[in-house]
A and B are shown apart, each in its own frame.
Chain A
Amino acid sequence: MILSFDIIILIFLIVAAVISLNVKDLLSSAMIYGIYGFLICLLWAEMGAVDVAFTEATVGAGVSTVLFIATILNTRRKSSD
């Protein structure tokens, strides 16, 4: 565990989470959620849980972003609230 590296990832994590909640465009929200997934993957790999990091990279960041985009492209793109 490298503390400064951890802190940098955690700051980016919070920033990505807040932006993906606040952005109006659903497509960019899904993409930023993918970035969030990769940051969590990086955090787990850095903590030594490589299997979990691998699963997060494939499922959380890869396929679920694609599924979000597939769903969003079949709906209206702007959020109303």
Chain B
Amino acid sequence: MNPKIFASIAVVITGLVLLYGVSDFPTFGDPRSPANSGVEGGAPSTSLYYINESYSATKVPNLVTSVLADYRSYDTMFETVVVFAAGMAIFAILRCVGKDDGAVVAPQRKSSIDGDHNRIIVGMTCRLAVPVVQIFALYVIAHGHYSPGGGFQGGVMLGASFILIALAGNLEDALSRLSERSYMALAALGILIYAGFGVLPQVLGKNFLDYGALQKILLTDGPEMARSHSMLGVEIGVALTVMSIMFAIFANLSSRGTLKGGL
């Protein structure tokens, strides 16, 4: 029998089970759902707590950022570690240092955007677009307190700007701007920055990632502004790791681990 029929039956059954599960969900914006109404006789509504308290506790207007980087910062730290581990796994599988991949020779297209007059339009467009992308990425990272955005999105955009260089020219163009040694160092540095913001309050006698303790180091008035500033530091750490890992994954995937040639 055709294996496609078995696959279709499995997909249909899974879909039906999922649809059955969805029918139990509260409707969109239901005021009596557990997230909006809280536990009966127990804690009050979680959503209401964050909506009412998070601004006075952290001085960050964007609720998502304050929940992601302060209330749930332990979670976000290990999300960053997961991204780092994924990058390391791809590096370990694909990267062949000094080993000859005999089966396939990477196509040696010498089409650098630096000093190749045959590719002057692509090169100039790339040269004009990359700084704009990078400045917008820095804005997204730094402005994550007030508008949508933050470390993950800004980091992916920074990584995408280097991927754009590698796509427009070849991989050596991008690697001459962000070498393998430096992106590996930046990926580890990002996690160290994040973990450092966790360990520093411990040194001062508070809990792990309790940013309010940093007000003496950051010289802010009150623990609320210390939380706000620490969140920016944490987002910068996330952005460094995500940027480096995104570029590392692309560089290793597109060149079969040799880091030579273009696509």
**Interface residues, chain A, CB within 8 Å of chain B?**
1, 47, 50-51, 53-55, 58-59, 62-63, 66-67, 69-71, 73-74, 81
Q: Could you say which interface size class chain B belongs to?
A: 20 to 34
> Quick check: is B152 within 8 A (CB to CB) of the other chain?
yes
The B contact surface, by secondary structure, is helix
Contact status B156-A59, CB under 8 Å = yes
> In the complex, what residue of chain A is closest to B3 when comparing beta carbons?
A81
Q: Which residues of B contact A74 (CB under 8 A)?
A: 104, 253-254, 256
Q: How near does chain A come to B62, taking the closest CB pair, in angstroms?
A: 8
A67 touches B253 (CB 8 A): yes
CB distance from A11 to the nearest CB of B (A): 17
Chain A contact residues: over half helix, strand or loop, or mixed?
helix
Using a CB–CB cutoff of 8 Å, the interface residues on chain B facing chain A are: 4, 28, 62, 64-65, 104, 140, 148-150, 152-153, 156-157, 159-160, 163, 167, 246, 249-250, 253-254, 256, 263
**A62 and B263 form a contact (CB under 8 A):** no
Give the residues in chain B near A50, CB-CB below 8 Å. 148
Contact A70–B153 (Cβ < 8 Å): no
Contact between A63 and B254, CB atoms less than 8 A apart? no
CA distance A46 to B156 in the complex (A): 22
B103–chain A nearest beta-carbon distance, Å:
11
